[in-house]
Amino acid sequence: MSFRRYEIILPTRYNDGTPVEEEKFLLTNRELSVQFGAASFLPETLRGTWIHQGQWFEEANVRLFSDVEDTTENAAFFAGFKEILKARFRQIDIWIVSYEIRITLQSGSLSRRCPE
């Protein structure tokens, strides 16, 4: 079974400069947790810059991520979720990246205690 990590970069301010309400981050994290059983929220600020139609934007962002099975159904979920997030955060685009990850699963032979 293979897994992917989906990372979502979310702005802390709308494009007009007003702060995004904390409830929107909590709701997004909760939705991912319900859908996949777990999600993580990294509140550390990520600084970003981008240009749209000749206008320069500087942003402070946060990151959420969820580790999921690598399936077409999960990829489709994130494609649809992106559209929801664009509306929720009033953004032209929301950056979602995914990459393959390897999760170390517990097996019977690895659960033995190491000698001290």
Neighbours of 15 (CB within 10 A): 14
Strand partners, 83: none
Judge whether 114 lies within some domain: no
Judge whether 111 lies within some domain: no
State the chain's mean pLDDT as an integer.
89
Q: What is the pTM of this model?
A: 0.82
Judge whether 63 lies within some domain: yes
If you average pLDDT over residues 50-67, what whole number do you get?
Answer: 90
Judge whether 109 lies within some domain: no
Identify the CATH number of the domain in which residue 17 sits: 3.30.70.120
Indicate the helix (H) or strand (E) that contains 99: strand 95-101
Report pLDDT for 73.
98
**How far is the C-alpha of 107 from the C-alpha of 91, rounded, in Å?**
44
Confidence of residue 4 (pLDDT cuts 50, 70, 90): very high
Q: At 1, is the secondary structure helix, strand, or coil?
A: coil
Segment 17-57, tens digit of pLDDT: 899 999 999 999 999 999 999 999 998 998 988 888 898 88
Percent of the chain at pLDDT > 70 equals 91
Q: How many helices (H) and strands (E) does the chain have?
A: 2, 4
